[in-house]
């Protein structure tokens, strides 16, 4: 199951949910739902969280034990992420419809991700990275 270490990072930094919510530009109850795994944090907010603490996406999503990331790209660029999704598909000999089937979504959704029109869902990025053993930081253009 997809989990992220929001609580652990917040506690390590002696911060409140309201502190984190302010950093992310959301209300505290919204952040609380993410931290308590009621909802999955959108990738854009998760990237902001990781950038604030200089933490690896792979670490926070429990894909790696390496906590920190150095010399990384802090920009969130949907086109870069889309290009990385295309490269992932080609490297794994997949068509858009294959990836759509794996993620239980539509081919048009995959197309929108790849063209950089829409940011991939956090859960979809996680599914790809965990099944195919690739870095979420890499997929999201951070390294």
The tens digit of pLDDT for each residue in 33-71 reads 999 989 999 999 999 999 999 999 999 999 999 998 877
Q: How far apart are CA 16 and CA 10, in angstroms?
A: 7
pLDDT at position 31, please? 96
Q: Do domains 6-60 and 78-139 have the same CATH topology?
A: yes
Hey, what CATH topology would domain 6-60 get? Answer: 434 Repressor (Amino-terminal Domain) (1.10.260)
pTM of the model: 0.91
- Go through 58-89 and write b for each residue having 16 or more CB atoms within 10 A of its CB, e for each that does not: bbbbebbeeeebeebeeebebebbbebbbebb
How far is the first Cα of the chain from the last one, in angstroms, to the nearest whole number? 25
Q: What contacts 99, CB < 8 A, 6 or more positions away?
A: 85, 89, 110, 128
Hey, what CATH topology would domain 78-139 get? Answer: 434 Repressor (Amino-terminal Domain) (1.10.260)
pLDDT at position 3, please? 65
pLDDT-derived band at 1, boundaries 50, 70, 90: very low
Q: How far apart are CA 52 and CA 112, in angstroms?
A: 28
Handedness of CA 52, 67, 138, 18 (dihedral sign): negative
Q: State the helix-helix crossing angle for 17-24 and 28-35, rounded to 10 degrees.
A: 110
Annotated domain spans of the chain: 6-60, 78-139
Q: How far apart are CA 69 and CA 74, in angstroms?
A: 11
């Amino acid at each position: 199951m997809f989990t992220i270490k929001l609580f652990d990072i917040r506690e390590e930094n002696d911060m409140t949910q309201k502190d984190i919510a302010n950093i992310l530009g959301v209300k505290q109850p919204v952040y609380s739902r993410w931290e308590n795994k009621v909802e999955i944090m959108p990738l854009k907010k998760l990237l902001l969280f990781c950038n604030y603490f200089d933490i690896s996406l792979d670490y926070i999503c429990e894909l790696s034990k390496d906590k920190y990331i150095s010399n990384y790209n802090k920009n969130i660029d949907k086109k870069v992420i889309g290009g990385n999704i295309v490269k992932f598909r080609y490297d794994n000999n997949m068509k858009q419809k294959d990836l759509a089937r794996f993620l239980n979504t539509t081919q048009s959704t995959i197309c929108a991700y790849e063209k950089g029109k829409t940011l991939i869902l956090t859960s979809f990025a996680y599914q790809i990275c965990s099944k195919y053993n690739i870095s979420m930081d890499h997929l999201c253009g951070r390294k």
